[in-house]
Amino acid sequence: MSTLVVCIDRGETVADIAGELPVVGERTIRSLVTDVGLADPESSRVNCLLEGLRLAGELRESGTDPVVAVVSGADDSVDADRDLARQIEHLLADRSIESAVVVTDSTAEERVVHVVESRVRVDAVSRVVVRQARDLESAYYLLKQFLANEELRQTVLVPIGVALLAVPVLVVFAQSLRAAIAAVAALTGLFVLYKGLGVDDALAALTGGVRDGLYTGRLSVVTGVIAGGFALVGLVVGVISASPLAGAASALVTVMAFLFDSVPWLTTAGLTASTGRAVDEWLHSSRVGNATFNLPFVLAAIGLVVRGFGAYFLERAGVIDPLRMPATSLGVVSIRGFTIGGDARLVAFVVAGVFVSLLGVVVAMRMGESSVDDRSEEID
């Protein structure tokens, strides 16, 4: 069994010079080092190839049989990564290789290390950093490479340019340098959080999911829009109910007033969205998962409990009256009117929430058992 020392290149230099890929063998790679160095003396790929030869020598001295190779992709694209994968598979098919050591010279190559890991165990990754690049005299070349990278330009230079343009505009309109600096700092902070928390990736994934849902005719897209409308109505209703109490009552009572009137709408929004998801699962696989089936019961239980606590605090504060049930008659049976308030009202809502939650667990378990029985019958 041998250890593969593979130098990864994502560019056109090595691919054009080598011709046939992958390049295997120390003697062939020594010749390739000379050709690459003559083609581009400033390229760090020369140092990457030399590092691969050095690691192969160390492995040989330690008693390991090394196989040194160079794989290269013509450009920075998905097709280039697939070409790298085919070259790795070609190396593994012709040799008995137990593990690999990956040599790179930039972050771009490190992003495709998983291509090697998916096919053979990777024991180490060695990134070559040219010593001269740490000196002040190489700042010009680093800046040149930075400006040549489109992704870095968009991520760093564009926000800086927008901030510099915003400062004089805000100074003219706001007539205050302090306000302009505060506004620019706030926008910069929002951008940093936007990138740091991965909001752009989440929005891209959400947009892709909505687009796929529209193309495939998923009901969850429609119910999601309806749920968003219900949630918006709930927020507005809650704000309208809590606004009169903002100055006259405590913060706790204000929050409870918001929750008391918004929770029914928010719960309805959750039930609508979960129902659409359950229908999509049933249409896709003719069954509904236990978690999806139990979700509406959990949402309803949470809504009952939160509304019960909200009603308790609002009644204690004198904002709402106790719950009065009018007298009713059903044939020979007549029920006198009664009032539920205070602790009894809270207990009733909590018990109802617990009952709904337990009902959801029981129903989900029964659905799971029937699904298991159906699968076992299919197997039999």
Q: Is residue 106 part of a domain?
A: yes
Do 364 and 221 have their domain in common?
Answer: yes
- Residue 369 is predicted with a pLDDT of 46
Residue ending a domain, choose from 96, 127, 158: 127
Do 221 and 316 have their domain in common?
Answer: yes
Do 113 and 258 have their domain in common?
Answer: no
Alpha-carbon torsion, ordered 83, 86, 91, 92, to 10 deg: 150
What is the tens place of the pLDDT at every residue in 130-167?
Answer: 765 455 445 666 676 666 777 767 777 777 777 777 77
Residue ending a domain, choose from 127, 157, 183: 127
Do 169 and 68 have their domain in common?
Answer: no
Dump the DSSP string for 14-50: HHHHH-SSSEESHHHHHHHHHHHHHH-TT-THHHHHH
- Residue 138 is predicted with a pLDDT of 59
Q: Is residue 287 part of a domain?
A: yes
Do 311 and 366 have their domain in common?
Answer: yes
Q: What is the pTM of this model?
A: 0.45
- Residue 376 is predicted with a pLDDT of 46
Do 88 and 175 have their domain in common?
Answer: no
- Residue 277 is predicted with a pLDDT of 80
- Which residue numbers in the chain have pLDDT < 50? 133, 136-137, 369-380
Q: Is residue 210 part of a domain?
A: no
Q: Is residue 297 part of a domain?
A: yes
Q: Is residue 329 part of a domain?
A: yes
The answer to whether 265 and 233 are in contact (CB under 8 A) is yes
Do 168 and 281 have their domain in common?
Answer: no
Residue 135: DSSP 8-state? S
What is the Cα–Cα distance from 309 to 368, expressed in whole angstroms?
33
Q: Is residue 379 part of a domain?
A: no
Residue 351: which of 313, 302, 305 has the closest Cα? Answer: 305
Do 339 and 358 have their domain in common?
Answer: yes
- Domains contained in the chain, number: 3
Residue ending a domain, choose from 127, 156, 181: 127
Do 171 and 115 have their domain in common?
Answer: no
Q: How many helices (H) and strands (E) does the chain have?
A: 15, 9
- Report the Cα 213 to chain-centroid distance in Å: 19
The answer to whether 247 and 282 are in contact (CB under 8 A) is no
Q: Is residue 339 part of a domain?
A: yes
Q: Which strand (E) or helix (H) includes residue 365?
A: helix 343-379
- Residue 371 is predicted with a pLDDT of 46
Do 222 and 358 have their domain in common?
Answer: yes
Q: Is residue 76 part of a domain?
A: yes
Domain extent at residue 74 = 2-127
Do 141 and 16 have their domain in common?
Answer: no
Do 225 and 334 have their domain in common?
Answer: yes
